[in-house]
Structure 1
Amino acid sequence: MNSEQAHSVWRAPRWALAVLLAALSMLGPFSIDTYLPAFGGIAAALGATPVQMQQTLSAYLFGFAFMNLFHGALADSFGRRPVLLAGSAVFTLASIGCALSDSIGALVAFRALQGLSAGAGMVVSRAVVRDLFAPADAQRMLSQVTIFFGVAPAIAPVIGAQLLTHAGWEAIFWCLALIGAALWLAGWRLLPETLPPARRQSFRARHLLRGYRQLGSDPRFLLLALASGVPFNGMFLYVLAAPVFLGEHLGLAPTQFFWFFVSTIAGVMGGAWVSGRSAGRLSPQAQIRRGFLIMAAVSLANLAGNLLWAPALPWALLPIALYAFGWAQMVPVVTLMVLDLFPERRGMASSLQAGIGSAANGLVAGVLVPLVMHSSVALAGASLALMGVGLGAWLYVRPRLGSPH
């Protein structure tokens, strides 16, 4: 679709579309970060153990990861708009269920339902962008979405803590229900359908399985998904290890953790801004090369610094922010390459890419972080290794992609 056709479908300013898609995309992480400050309050109110409280998070993450595999396939078959609206509606009802829960079992069940529905916006919005715009314009739009998206992790814990303090833990989920309802209304009033009926895929099981097999057996798809998903964990492992990294290694009080998240988010938003400015000016390969060069240089410097000195402010936070800056420059470009491998199955491609990323995140969270978090050198080495996996995948697949778009 060219820019004139896109304008006929979406008549409002493009930044407004970016805000709407970013809000839909950030629903998933936002609903995690807002309720984390309330763990203690919820446990006291419902008589829950720490293990049971962890189950409220695990149920959400499992539902989120599982359904990420199918949101896109549903959007390829029934259209983008119905899936986004259904996801917002189910999320709203699940949030109301969480707010009304009077037992930990009920809260776990409704959190799982939240997770099953929250990923629709993140998966389907990528397909919407590529449906509407040519590659350069799509990259600019994805970069804008990333910039707006980056605000969520910074403000969500603050909002959650304020609601907990002034209105109780239930208010957090009532707030999420209001956000879900507002997104449903905005989507119903504003969001166009970007996938014409003639381009939709059959929802028959055999046809779907053929599509999953086609994508899953294509080495280009798998390697591009690894090139975008695995390097993310080079900075995400520091987020997962934040209590130990910031509290033990840097000696910061919890009230000072804010600086770590602000600097990292600033890196993501800055890299996304540069990516948008580079769209149409630099080739996709040149942008990806620049992103990996920044991440590689910063990772090596981070490891060297931790080998030579004990971690300290401010230098210990700077490499993570710069790494995020490099990652955010290349990931919109790689995402578009993933979507364009199978134009007729962009939703499914977005789903599987998100699924591979979620699997990598889960392995890093459950296996790698506990092994390395108590050593700043091991953290830096693990970050370098994760970046190396992504770089290796990109270097291997690059000659097999053909001419750039």
Structure 2
Amino acid sequence: MSGTPVSQGHSGLSIRRLALLLGGLAMFGPFSIDTIFPAFPQMGAQLGADKLAMQQTISVYLVAYALMSIVHGPLSDAIGRRRVILGGLSVFTLASVGCALATELSTLLVFRALQGLSAGVGLIVGRAVIRDVLHGDDAQRLMSQVSMIFGIAPAIAPIIGGWILGWSRWPAIFWFLVAFSLVLLVATWRMLPETHPPSARARVSPRRLLRDYVAIAFNPRFQRLAAAGAFNFGALFLYIASAPAFVLDLLRRDGQRLGEGDFAWFFVPMISGMMLGAYLSGRAAGRMTGTRLANLGFVCCGLAALSNVAYNLLVAVPAVPWAILPLAFNAFGIALVFPILTLAILDMYPRQRGSASSLQAFTGLVLHSLTAGVISPLLSDDALHLALGAALFTLLGWLFWRWESGASRSMEARNREAASVPGESI
């Protein structure tokens, strides 16, 4: 990563520093989900909650995240990126304090929802920041660099949660989130300038916001791109949402069940694949077209899905590391695809990047909330069921991408034909 300034308009902001900051901001959302996974048994015992009830700490968080995600982007379009990020970090910090002090499941769920309402600012507004300051291949490189940093979070979060449980009880995990969000708050205050100047801001108007959202949501190309990204990542998210059951109940190592400190067996290979894919995506910028890179990513995802189903058909009990390798390869393919789809969506709406980013996030989060609250509990009792569910998600993502690729080629052909008519008449 270069340490040179991002642009003349933001001369004090280097690519390296921006990538680190935006990657950190994107991390506190996954940290909110994954850090508490090892504590599920302890939390359930203390709060009197069974596995299904504990699963709601994830689904409530995601529902709130999804609902607020449609606000973060347009709000940043109207009042600036920096204010929205600082406000979200402040709310998240207070919500984490509430979670740490909760003594009943109902209280915990309330503050988990408040965490969800604020956690999306880093990821959603951060995407708009990238597109504010960079264009073309440079934007793809920075998006990939941020994805690499962001990808660390799901790998290290449950490990950190397991370490914390080794010397304290589950509330200490939420105190860790308080400290982490405070560090990000100070870093954002000191390091992040405003990248969306007043001259480019949209007026705050509920009617205009609704009109913009309707226009974006009913754009067929947006629907195809957003659905392709959501379903493709959904294959991996199904396993992330099912991690407590998958790791603690289904996986074996040398014939023995895994314990609360063994989540690294699941997350480290998976996120390593994602980081490698993000790295190669950045390296490919300017050397390979986005369409070709996305096609390659979907091929990887398809092969991973097939090998995952085949493995679970052949073995009675999934074991590490073999059960995890297809997931790592799937994560690699997703990391190749996701920056291409995201930048394509943002480029469709240069003056409404925040709104476009919000609606893309909302599309994915609605699916992920359904996955965490309904699909995961139905499938997480059997490794083959999880593999088949993930394969279906991958297939749906690829079908939407094929639909978009075909529609784009047809549009290009019509444009060339229309452009050739005046020339033929001269």
**Which of 261, 266, 281 lines up with 2:287 in the alignment?**
281
C-alpha separation in 2, matches of 1:157 and 1:24? 18
Summarize deviations over 1:329-357 as a string: whole Å, max 9, x none. 11111110011111111111111111111
Match of 2:21? 20
Alignment of 1:3-402 (within 5 A): 6-42=7-43, 47-50=47-50, 53-246=54-247, 250-252=251-253, 253-255=257-259, 256-310=262-316, 311-401=318-408
Report the AA paired with residue 302 of structure 2. Answer: A
Contact 2:241 2:376 in 1 (8 A): yes
Once the 2 structures are TM-superposed, how far is the Cα of residue 221 of structure 1 from its aligned partner? 0.4
Q: Structure 2 unaligned segments of length 5 or more: list them.
A: 413-426
Counterpart amino acid of residue 302 in structure 1: N
Work out whether residues 234 and 386 of structure 1, in 8 Å CA contact, stay in contact via their aligned partners in 2. yes
Deviation at 1:34, TM superposition (A): 2.2
- 2:113 maps to a residue whose letter is A
Return the alpha-carbon distance in structure 1 between the equivalents of residues 42 and 14 of structure 2. Answer: 42
Q: Deviations over 1:266-287 (max 9, x none)?
A: 1101110110100111111111
Cα offsets for 1:369-401 (capped at 9, x unmatched): 344444444433332221111111111112434
Most deviating of 358-367 and 206-215: 358-367
Identity of aligned residues (%): 45
Spell out, residue by residue over 1:3-41, the C-alpha distance to the aligned partner (whole angstroms, 9 max, x if none): 976254153542221111111111111022223333454
Query: Closer, same or farther in 2 for the Cα pair 1:5/1:314, shift >3 Å?
Result: closer
Shift of 1:362: 2.3
- Aligned with 2:194: secondary structure? coil
Aligned pair in 2 of structure 1 residues 34, 62: CA closer, same or farther (>3 Å)? same
2:267 aligned partner, one-letter code: F
Question: What secondary structure does 2:352 align onto?
Answer: helix
Deviation at 1:120, TM superposition (A): 0.8
- Residue 151 of structure 1: SS of its match in structure 2? helix
What amino acid is aligned across from residue 155 of structure 1 in structure 2? I
**Could you say what secondary structure the match of 1:150 adopts?**
helix
- Residues in 1 aligned to 2:105 and 2:320: alpha-carbon distance in whole angstroms: 40
Change in 2 beyond 3 A, CA 1:42/1:385: closer
1:220, distance to aligned residue in structure 2 (A): 0.4
Q: Mind listing any 5+ residue stretches in structure 1 that lack a counterpart?
A: none
Conservation of the 8 A alpha-carbon contact between 1:306 and 1:377 = yes
Q: CA deviation at 1:309?
A: 4.8
Residue type of the partner of 1:326?
G
Q: CA deviation at 1:179?
A: 1.6
* Cα distance, 1:54–1:304 mapped onto 2, change above 3 Å: closer
Give the structure-1-normalised TM-score.
0.90
**In the alignment, is the contact (CA less than 8 A) between 1:10 and 1:192 conserved in 2?**
no
CA 1:57–1:321 in 2, change beyond 3 Å: closer, same or farther? Answer: closer
CA RMSD of aligned residues (A): 2.4
- How far residue 102 of structure 1 moved from its aligned partner, in angstroms, is 4.8
Q: Secondary structure at the match of 2:387?
A: helix
Alpha-carbon distance, 1:233 to partner: 1.7
Give the aligned residue type for 2:258: P
SS of structure 1 residue aligned to 2:126:
helix
Q: Which residue of 1 aligns with 2:424?
A: none
Cα distance change on mapping 1:136 and 1:114 into 2, 3 Å: same
Q: Give the letter for the 2:403 counterpart.
A: Y
CA distance in 1, matches of 2:308, 2:111: 41
Distance 1:366 1:294 in 2: 28
Superposition TM-score, scaled by structure 2 size: 0.86
Which piece of structure 1 moves more, 167-176 or 184-193? 167-176
Counterpart secondary structure, 2:288:
coil
The alignment partner of 1:177 has SS state of helix
